Structure 1
Amino acid sequence: MIIDKIVGNIHNMNTSEIGERHIEKVRIESADLVKRIQRVKTDHNRDMGIRLKNAEDLKDGDILFMDDKNMIIIDVKTDDILAIQPRNINEMGVIAHELGNRHMPAKFEGNEMLVQYDYLVEELLQQKGIPFKREDRKLKEAFRHTTGAHSHG
């Protein structure tokens, strides 16, 4: 089966729309959310190909296939992350500057800055006294590196 478009997202559906459909899941890493072309396997061992026509990222809960009885959805695996919780603009500026110098991609959810776990960043946060939590969390979208050329001098 080749999937060329996203049908919808299960998180935007109510219980009556889902109905009695059997739900099969494709478990992928958050880094794979940005891949338009990939081979995947469902939790029922069904091989599938994804070749999206539109340049869009996958998201947790995206529906790859749906008929009256079945649904195949994306289920993103959790990531080992640091959820940084700066208390003020100064702490935010300090950690944003440090992470930017390391070219670390970050995401923002609520009042938290999320980065992939790195022991050096964990040590830096401890040294600077900036509050954080290390946890496994399902991300809504993939970390993305900034593209484009730049220099440090």
Structure 2
Amino acid sequence: MIVTEILGNIHEASGQELVGGRHVEKVVLPSTELVKRIQRLTTDHGHELGLRRPAKAPDLKDGDVLAVEGDAENGNAVVVQVLPTDVLVIGARSIVEMAFVAHSLGNRHLQAQFFDENSEYGAQVMVVQYDHTVQDFLDHHGVPYSRQERVMPVPFRHAEHTH
């Protein structure tokens, strides 16, 4: 089977309705694989499928429904499950401290994601992929952070840059 489009997402009502009572097979992926448009995937039941998505297609997300077969009671659905990513959750104490950290890490061309107090973090934080040099930087400057395993809403991408 070749998958060319995402049918829905189980974290939304329409995706839950689409999957219904079907047996769910998972395609377990690390965050780095979510950005690939063309790849061979294997479900947790050993079934293989191909992914071939258009050039401008959005990245895969946790809960994306790749395939639905059969009826709601006896059919199968294939759903993406994203593995947690090793991240540093940075909770600077002030806007000045956050600006310093963001500027310093930006000079390294590190991808960052920002969340507010209404997020699952419950605070205004900056999240970056774990890197021992970033951890050393934060320790050296006394910036509060924690190392966590998180399923990120958006995959980190390699930031290409030239001068």
Distance 2:151 2:86 in 1: 9
Deviation at 1:52, TM superposition (A): 1.0
Query: Quick check: 1:60–1:141 contact (8 Å CA) kept in 2?
Result: no
Q: How far apart, CA to CA, are the structure 1 residues paired with 2:45 and 2:53? A: 22
Which segment is superposed worse, 6-15 or 104-113? 6-15
Specify the alignment match of 1:81 in structure 2.
87
Identical columns (%): 45
Given the alignment of the two structures, is residue 142 of structure 1 paired with residue 146 of structure 2, yes or no? no
Aligned to 2:31: 30
Unmatched segments (≥5 aa) in structure 2: 117-123
Structure 2 residue identity aligned to 1:64: L
3-state SS, counterpart of residue 111 of structure 2: coil
1: CA distance, partners of 2:29 / 2:115? 21
Q: Tell me, yes or no, if the aligned pair for 2:9 and 2:15 is still in contact at 8 Å.
A: no
> Is the 1:27–1:43 Cα contact (8 Å) retained in structure 2?
yes
Identify which range, 79-88 or 137-146, moves more after superposition.
137-146
Ranges in structure 1 where 5+ consecutive residues have no aligned partner:
none
TM-superposed CA distance for 1:9, in Å, is 0.5
SS in 1 for 2:41: strand
Measured after TM superposition, the shift of residue 4 of structure 1 is 0.4
1:92 equivalent to 2:98? Answer yes
- In 2: Cα distance, 1:88 partner to 1:121 partner: 19
Alpha-carbon RMSD across the aligned residues, in angstroms, is 1.8
| Alignment correspondent of 1:7 | 7
Contact preservation (8 Å) 2:37, 2:51: yes
Distance in structure 2 (CA, Å) of the matches to 1:11 and 1:65: 16
Question: 2:119 matched to which residue of 1?
Answer: none
Whichever residue aligns with residue 118 of structure 1, its letter is D
Task: Report the residue type matching 2:141 in the other structure.
Answer: K
Q: Is the 2:91–2:144 contact (alpha carbons within 8 Å) kept by the matching residues of 1?
A: yes
- How far residue 104 of structure 1 moved from its aligned partner, in angstroms, is 1.0
Measured against aligned partners, the alpha-carbon deviations of 1:97-134 in whole angstroms (never above 9, x if no partner) come to 11111111111233221111111111111121111110
Give the equivalent residue in structure 1 for 2:45. 44
- Comparing 53-62 with 83-92, which one deviates more in the overlay? 53-62
